[in-house]
Amino acid sequence: MNRTPTDPFLPPQRLLLGPGPSPVAQEVLTAMAQPTIGHLDPAFIGLMDELKAMTQTLFNTKNEATFTVAGPGSVGMDACVLNMIEPGDKILIARNGVFGMRMSEVASRGGAVVVPLDFEWGTPVDPAIVDAALAKDKDIKFLAFVHAETSTGVLSDGKALGAVAAKHNVMTIMDCVTSAGGVLIEMDAWGIDVIYTGTQKCISCPPGLSPVSFSPRAIEHIKARKTKVLSWFLDVTQVMAYWGGEGARAYHHTAPINSLYGLHEALRRLLLEGLENSFKRHRAAHLHLVAGLEKRGMEMLVAPACRLPQLNTVKIPAGVDDPKVRRTLLLDHGIEIGAGLGPLAGKVWRIGLMGEGARTESVDRLLAALDQIMAKEHA
Ligand SMILES: *Cc1c(COP(=O)(O)O)cnc(C)c1O
């Protein structure tokens, strides 16, 4: 087609079964299309309060410092890490995939001394090894880890890692970008100090927002900093004054108003379904996918005990043209799946069953399309 830049953009129909973004319900899109109001309008402030309450439920926390950062999950990572660390602070970062690596990049740019603890990609963070590392170096102040590693499809044990951190009296930062809404998070019960997630994975909202939460201990720590937070925009004490709601809500930045309408609707849908029901739905779709792939002779990368229901890494069968299959899936069947990253590039596909995508019907559509493509490939 001969398009010109001023033609309206009409996105193609896609079934998003990759590592994010996930499919977005029409109700969420409709909510985002409501008229924009002022960000200090009492009606909008009411919406911010409801978002805070729903986010507290999502994380299972009572933390007052629970709000949404304007920016995707990566901005939440920046906000959480940069508010906690000061130059010279030692932080143990458990790395079992891309996002653990990225956390160490953020921390080292912030001047922290990163103590890396590497685990084989496709395996979880081992609490016993973390325990030993923390016992060996008493100067370590923080433990950071990724709850659900989207690059490999592995779930680590947040409860066990929280307990190990408590034993050594270090504060914890947990990446929940892919876990929130798909598997259980108990921020308070597990003793996690700082959490961030993103809207575009199991919350099924367009990308661009990052719900975060800080424990009272984390806020005390931030208030006692000797140096200013590297980023003005992400300085939690200032952002909190904006989200605080004690009647004195101060202008800090202009919230992405319509995006927050969308998040409100997405969280509302999730909580009306019930978190437990959402976890069950993710698990059912996952089991259905694994059974279908195994029936076709394909093999999963990750051991059953630590598989992430919402992100499935399957080994690409020998002789299959990885980029060609993914391109055909997308362009001929309208289905997006993800490629492998880093050492797993060309070796696995990453099939996301996140949020609205976590349905057995979506799995059936994908398997049928794969069958057609593979039959042609080998004809
Ligand atoms: C997607 C993801 C991020 C980054 O989120 P964006 O919304 O892409 O910025 C961080 N951590 C994990 C585990 C993720 O899956």
User: Which CATH number is 324's domain given?
Assistant: 3.90.1150.10
245-267: b or e for each residue (b if 16 or more CB lie within 10 Å)? beeebeebeebbbebbbbbbbbb
The CA dihedral of 319, 324, 329, 330, to the nearest 10 degrees, is 160
Residue 4 has pLDDT above 60, yes or no: yes
Indicate the pLDDT class of residue 201, thresholds 50, 70 and 90.
very high
Helix (H) or strand (E) holding 334: none
The contacts found for 132-137 with CB under 8 angstroms, 24 or more apart, are 133/92, 134/92, 134/164, 134/165, 134/167, 134/168, 134/170, 135/168, 137/90, 137/92
CA distances (Å), origin 363, targets 7, 15, 48, 330: 35, 10, 35, 15
Q: Both 317 and 359 in a single domain?
A: yes
How many structural domains compose the chain?
Answer: 2
Q: Both 179 and 312 in a single domain?
A: no
Examine the fold and report which residue of 271, 297, 329 is the final residue of a domain before the chain moves on.
271
Q: Both 104 and 61 in a single domain?
A: yes
Range in 95-109, 269-283, 339-353, 364-378 with the lowest mean pLDDT = 364-378
Residue 207 near ligand 1, beta carbon < 6 Å: yes
What pLDDT shows up at residue 247?
60
Q: Both 212 and 246 in a single domain?
A: yes
Mutate to test the pocket of ligand 1, among 150, 200, 202, 210 (most ligand atoms within 8 A of CB): 150
Q: Both 150 and 227 in a single domain?
A: yes
Q: Both 160 and 202 in a single domain?
A: yes
What pLDDT shows up at residue 379?
61
User: Which residue owns the Cα nearest ligand 1 atom 12?
Assistant: 177
Contact by Cβ (8 Å): 32, 261:
yes
- Domain contains 3: no
pLDDT (average), residues 113-136: 98
What pLDDT shows up at residue 46?
92
Token readout for 261 is: 């309408």
- For residue 356, which of 293, 292, 262 has the smallest C-alpha distance? 262
Residue 245 has pLDDT above 70, yes or no: no
Q: Both 107 and 215 in a single domain?
A: yes
The alpha carbon of 74 and the centre of ligand 1 are apart by a number of angstroms equal to 6
Q: Which residues on adjacent β-strands are paired with residue 149?
A: 154
Mutate to test the pocket of ligand 1, among 177, 212, 313 (most ligand atoms within 8 A of CB): 177
Looking at residue 307, what DSSP letter applies? B
Residue 71 near ligand 1, beta carbon < 6 Å: no
**Which atom number of ligand 1 is nearest to the Cα of residue 151?**
15
- The predicted-structure confidence for 314-324, as pLDDT tens digits, reads as follows 999 999 999 99
Q: Both 265 and 304 in a single domain?
A: no
Token readout for 211 is: 């719900």
- Domain contains 9: no
CATH number, domain with residue 74: 3.40.640.10
pLDDT exceeding 90 applies to what percent of the chain? Answer: 93
The alpha carbon of 73 and the centre of ligand 1 are apart by a number of angstroms equal to 5
CA distances (Å), origin 44, targets 47, 55, 268: 5, 16, 16
What pLDDT shows up at residue 1?
64
Residue with structure tokens 């208030």? 223
Residue 368 has pLDDT above 80, yes or no: yes
Q: Both 169 and 261 in a single domain?
A: yes
Residue 78 near ligand 1, beta carbon < 6 Å: no
The alpha carbon of 187 and the centre of ligand 1 are apart by a number of angstroms equal to 19
Q: Both 103 and 65 in a single domain?
A: yes
Residue 99 near ligand 1, beta carbon < 6 Å: yes
Q: How far is CA 171 from the centre of its chain?
A: 20
- Domain contains 2: no
CA distances (Å), origin 55, targets 61, 132, 252, 355: 8, 34, 21, 16
SS3 41: coil
Angle of helix 42-59 relative to helix 257-273, nearest 10 degrees? 40
Residue 242 near ligand 1, beta carbon < 6 Å: no
Rg (CA), the chain: 21
- Domain contains 71: yes
Examine the fold and report which residue of 222, 238, 271 is the final residue of a domain before the chain moves on.
271
Q: Both 262 and 356 in a single domain?
A: no
Q: Write out the residue range of the structural domain in which residue 336 sits.
A: 15-21+275-377
- Domain contains 10: no
What pLDDT shows up at residue 205?
98
Examine the fold and report which residue of 271, 298, 316 is the final residue of a domain before the chain moves on.
271
SS3 115: strand
- Domain contains 184: yes
Q: Both 254 and 231 in a single domain?
A: yes
**Which atom number of ligand 1 is nearest to the Cα of residue 207?**
7
Residue 205 near ligand 1, beta carbon < 6 Å: no
- The predicted-structure confidence for 246-280, as pLDDT tens digits, reads as follows 566 778 899 999 999 999 999 999 999 999 999 99
pLDDT (average), residues 97-102: 97
- The predicted-structure confidence for 8-61, as pLDDT tens digits, reads as follows 999 999 999 999 999 999 999 999 999 999 988 999 999 999 999 999 999 999
- Domain contains 108: yes
Mean pLDDT of the chain: 96
